[in-house]
Each structure stands twice: as C-alpha cells, then as structure tokens.
Structure 1
C-alpha cells in the first residue's frame, strides 16, 4: 500500500511516519511518498525518516521512503493521501498574526481573521491538488490535516466528495480526558461502549453529553472540582465558566470566550507563535542540512521544545499551569492511522471527524446549517466508509448562532478565494464574530489579498498541536 504525504517536507512528518511504521500489522504501508515544493526540506525529512527506519531494525521493517516535487508523480498510484500543506509557509502565518494584532484583533493561525487569511490563499491550491487527485487517484482516500480544516475539507469535497475527510486531534483528546475524569476507560467511545454528544465545527465544538451504562456522566464531571482540576479545558477557561455553559468546550473556544484575554496575552509576547516556530524550524532545517547524520537527533530536540510551548501564552495568561504531560488524543498522526486502519485495514472505529452535515436520511445532522456544509461530529468508520452517528443533542441557540455565523464566513471566504471577489472576502471578515468593524475588515482584506501569482512557499505542517 502506498501512502502519499502532501507537504512531506514539514516538521511533523516524522510523527506520521513513526505512527504508520508502528501500525504495519494493522494496515501495511509499504511505501511513503513525500511531496513538497522545497527540495531542501524534502532532503532533510528524507534523512530523518531514513534514520528512523534504521532504528526499527531489519531492512523492510519500516516503509520505504520516496521524495518528489511533482504532484502528479506523488499521487499516481496512491492508496491513501495525507494532505498537510501550508501555503505561504510560516512567513504567511506570521504575516496573518501580525496583521490582525495590529488592528487589535486576535492573531491566531486558524481562528478568526488569521484563519480567513490562511484560507484565502490555501483554497485555490487545495482545489488544484484535489482536482489532480480526482483525475489520477480517484479510488484513494484523502485525509486532510490542512488548516483551517472546516474550510479546506469543504473545498476539497467539491472535487473528491465522500473520499476526503478532515481530521483534528483536539476533539478526541477532549473526549478521552472527559472519560478519564469520569472514572471511565478513555477508549470507551472508540470501542462503542460510550456515546458522546459532540458537535460544532473544527476548533469550534462542544462536548454536550457523555453517556455510558445508560447515564450521562457529564453533569457529574462538571460538578466535581477535583476532576475538573485535571482537565485541560477547565484549567484554561475556568471551572465556573464550564459549569455556566453546561458543556466542555474544545480548547480553541478560549479564543471566542476569552477574546480580550487572548489578544492581550499574545500582544504582550515578544514573538507570536508563528514567529517562534519560524525561527525554531528555520534553525532546525539549517542545522540538519549542515549535519545530515544528526538529522533525527536534531529533530527530536526541536520537537520536545515545540510540544512544551504549545498554547503556553494562553495558559500563562489564564494562570492555568503546565499542560498535562499525557496527550490522550495521541496527536493527529494517531487519529489518521486509526482512520486509515478502519477504511483499509478491516477495523472499526468511532471517531470525531470533519464530514458533510448529512445524516443517513439526507437531512442535516446539525439543524440550522446547510446539509452540504462540513461540520465536526462523531462518526463510525469501517471498510464501507465514514458513517455519521445520530446527533442526540442539537446545539442550543447561543452555540448554533456562533457556529452558523462562522460557517457563513467560511463559505464566503471559499467563494472569495475561487472567484477573487474582494466583496465576498470583505463580507467574510466583516461578519466574523472576532472582527468588530467593517472598516477594519476592509483593511484586513487589502493586507492579506494574495497576488495573482503569489509564488509563496508551498510548505507543510498542519498545526501547532
């Protein structure tokens, strides 16, 4: 089986390779094909993966690695395609962050104006990529890590339909932490022993219920001070706020519910997250190019620092303390492997994925949103595909209003990217809940509008997380 990684020069690619190699008894990937527009980054990642492969022992114990800068070559013959591209690279990200911060708005890569700017230059590229996949590998499954996930997955569905699925590790991490906090097995949902009422969009969702043995355990968890003290979301946003809402929000809701605190915390830092990563990753690639024999060693040291600093500013602002050491989500690479093992390896998994808002009867899963909109909901995955689970609890009016507003902006930005309509882009920015002025929105559009031929770096790395 051939796995192609679009954005194969990205820093987190070794995590994917390790997960795939460890899962060969579940789904046998014989070759990993790396695609990136930057041949130097590809060379560095090839060294890292080759050194990882040698650690696994005998030849053939890990998948072979092939690198290319040609999209058609990369996708032809692929059984599974992981899309993890970053159009504009970290330079584009830092520009998005600083542009928003200069207007007194949230400077974050996926949420708010930064996410819209990111999508504006990304949608044309994923349209091109998805069209080539449809032509050259129509039977392949495309698993998209590319941010902003709701927008990108929705755009790719125009070409690939049900054969593309968006993934993120934050929802399943939230569910597993909540199960553990209730004294239940963190894997109970995956095995079908617990039901979860999770609904929303990527980086904008809530766990509204957690049922096992005929009981909803969420109210008890929300009332338990000791259990909440160990829950990342409660430490970030406060137990009292979670109790007031009656739900467990995805950690990215911090940017919506505590916007002033988030903006102040980010603005007070000497560097944005993007600027930190740009410097850190640049140093890694330079060092690994100079000392290719140490590529794996250098990558591991850089990864440790990167993981330790994830959402550090937000935790410091909220006095939330250190992030819990255990990542019960396993990372998006583990989510992708579970998804691949279900689709192609004969397994069955319950997951939370970005899919069309369409139930088995053709009606919307989440009322109040279009049936063809991409939403983030629980699903069952097996060899026959991805099957959304029934939504037991709809979003209450206050949550639905926020989700509907953000989804409308996402769809406007897709139209703007495809038709080069500044009007659609202006409306998308102006109507976003995290932009408070149409005048500011107009300036944001002018600042982030991509050139006809941008020539920006086609890089990789889907997320901080």
Structure 2
C-alpha cells in the first residue's frame, strides 16, 4: 500500500508518522511518500520520520520528494495538509480583520475566506494531477477550511473525503472522563466543519445510551473551561459546541482578547522553529512532547482510521467526516458539505440519519452554508464583488461597511496568491 502526504514537510507530519507506525496493523503501509516544495524542511521531517519507523520496527519505505507528480504516482491514497502562504499568511489572516472590529482567525470569518481563496485553486490543481496519474486514488483533505476545500474537490468529481480532528478530540476527551475506551464512544456530531455541536454521547454505538447529561452534570466545569465558554451556557444549551463556536457566541469578547496578545500564528511560528531544530537532531527518534502544543491532536488516529476504511481495511465502521449532505440535513442543498457521522467504506462516506436539528443550530448552519457557497464561487472565479458578497453573508461580518473594508484588506494582503487580483 502506497500513501502520499502532500505538505509532508509540515511540522505536523511526525504526529502522522507516529500514528502510521503504531497502527500499522490497521493501515499496512509499504511505501510512504512525503511531498513538499520546501526541500530543507522536508529533509528534516523525512529524517525524523525514518527514525520513528526504524525505532518502532516498521518495515515501510519512506520517500521524500519535491516532485508532486512523481510523489503521487501509484498512490492508493493522497493526504492533503497544505498551508498556502505558510505561517506568514496565517499571521495576516489573524490580524487585519481586527482592524475592522472582526475576529481574526485562520479558518472562519474574513481570515478563513482569505485562506479559502488562496487554497482552493492550489488543491484543485493538485487533485487534477493526482487524477491524471492515478484516477483511482482517494484524496483525504485535512487542509483548512476543510468544508470549502472538500466541496471544491467533490464538485470537480474527485474521490475525496474531508477530515478534521475536532470530533476525535471530543471522543477521546469524553472517553477519558467516562473511563471507557474511545471505541465505545459514539458522538451525535452535527453541523459544518468548525461549526458543530455534540448533541448526544452514546456508549456502544448509534443506538447506545446517551450519557451527555451525565457528562455535563459531573464534568461540566472542565468541559466549559476547555471551550472557554461559561458553564451556564452549556447547561442552557444541553449540548457541547465545538470550541470554534466561541467566535460566534462571544465574538466581541474574543475580538478584545485578540487585540491584547500575540497572534496564534506568531506562537506557532516560534514553536515550528524550535520543532525543526529538534527534528534535525539525529538522536531524536520519536515525536517530541512539544508537538502536542502545535495542535492537531489525534490527527494520526483519525487519518489512519479513515484511510483504512476507504482502502478496504480495518477502519471503524462509523467515523465523523466531511462529505456531501445528500438529504441528511433537509434544510441544506444536497451538494452542501456537512460534518457528521458516516458509514465509511471502499465506496466512500455515507452520512448516518440525523435527528431533526434545533432551529438554534439549523439557522446558523444554513447561514454559514450560504457563505460557503459564495466563498467557493469567489475562490473559483475571483473578483472583488464575489469576495464582498461572501463577507457580507458571513455571520461574523454581516455589515456592508465591514465587508467593504475587509474586502480591500483581504485583496491587499493576498494579491500574490490571487491570480485575478
């Protein structure tokens, strides 16, 4: 089995490598190719990857290359983990929206739109090259904004499934609080990528006992602290929102906070420098503890599980993924991409039936889906008016003066990545 990681020079990659090594019985990789245009980073990450495989007695071959076409040739699955523009672009995404009084964040709001505009054309070019080389390969997208990128891939006819680590993070967290194994925890996880709610936590499968009320009663303070939301909010809702919902539920508070401290991008850039120095140490043969602070917790387990199921192996029967709605949420079009529990196999992902969604959540889901429609149109066709309309539609913007100012800033800061600008 050959698997290719595009963006393999990412500091995330050793987390992925560690999972491939530990879970080789689930996903028996014989060849792993790391593709990245940044040759120096790729050499550092590739060296550590080989040492991790060797330490854990994994017989698979690890290849590094800057040649995308060579890297994807013959791959059974291609995993995308790109950051177009690097941390420098992320730094901009997190700062210029604050000038207009809006949240600066890399996957939602104006910053998320900027990332989508930079990313979608690049991902589609990669996917076309994969299809020319190996039309049967699955594409697993971990590149943010996952919902928009996955929709672009699916609409272009690619065999693609989107992946995020939010759900598996909740699964692992809840399993620890309940004292059970993660495989016993089934989430009623519904919404869009980075806009989801856990409406039930069931033990044993989709029909199991819902223990979410017990979790909130016994561990509500700890869960609220993790989400940085007041405990009474969780009690009143009776659900556990994704931590990204704080940008919506406490927008003005978050904007004030972001204006008084260094950006997350600056923190990550410093961390990446330290990690790359570590990766260059020939004695290092395991992922360093610092990597846990970089983000992407349990990413490797989720990626292995999904790839194994898509390639006919031993993955879990149900997984939270990003895929076409196809009637699952009746208030959305079929070609909207939702994030939900799905049955995953060699033919792809099929969402499980979902109980009716409360209007409190359905309204926001529908609103953000409309924004994603416009954002994808802007990413595919370009133009200032399309960018403006997408921003005006986003619930974190929503005022024409803000949308105008943000449009000008977005184009100014991203001109080198926008072919039409």
Aligned twin of 2:119: 122
CA contact (8 A) 1:342 1:348 kept: yes
CA contact (8 A) 1:50 1:65 kept: yes
User: TM-score, structure 1 length as denominator?
Assistant: 0.82
d(CA) in 2 for partners of 1:182, 1:52: 32
Quote how far apart the aligned CAs of 1:398 are: 2.1
Aligned twin of 1:45: 45
CA contact (8 A) 1:7 1:36 kept: yes
Cα deviation code 1:256-301 (max 9, x no counterpart)? 11112222222211x200011123323543x369x5535658x726
CA contact (8 A) 1:154 1:374 kept: yes
Quote how far apart the aligned CAs of 1:343 are: 2.2
Gaps of 5+ in 1: 311-328, 359-363, 456-465
CA contact (8 A) 2:26 2:305 kept: no
Aligned twin of 1:344: 311
Aligned twin of 1:166: 162
Quote how far apart the aligned CAs of 1:79 are: 0.5
Aligned twin of 1:75: 72
d(CA) in 1 for partners of 2:208, 2:55: 47
- Alignment partner of 2:282 out of 293, 304, 312: 293
d(CA) in 2 for partners of 1:442, 1:31: 49
- Alignment partner of 2:343 out of 370, 373, 380: 380
Matches within 5 A, 1:337-416: 337-349=304-316, 350-358=318-326, 364-391=327-354, 393-416=355-378
Aligned twin of 1:451: 415
CA contact (8 A) 1:202 1:376 kept: yes
Q: Does 1:227 align with 2:219?
A: yes
Quote how far apart the aligned CAs of 1:200 are: 0.3
Quote how far apart the aligned CAs of 1:82 are: 0.6
- Alignment partner of 2:299 out of 326, 332, 341: 332
CA contact (8 A) 1:412 1:427 kept: yes
SS in 2 for 1:369: coil
Q: Which has the higher contact order (CA 8 A, sep 6+)?
A: 1
d(CA) in 2 for partners of 1:383, 1:400: 31
d(CA) in 2 for partners of 1:221, 1:302: 29
Matches within 5 A, 1:162-311: 163-178=159-174, 181=177, 185-189=181-185, 194=186, 196-212=187-203, 215-222=209-216, 224=217, 226-231=218-223, 236-269=228-261, 271-285=262-276, 287=277, 293=282, 300=288, 302-304=290-292, 306-307=293-294
Quote how far apart the aligned CAs of 1:357 are: 0.1
d(CA) in 1 for partners of 2:397, 2:343: 36
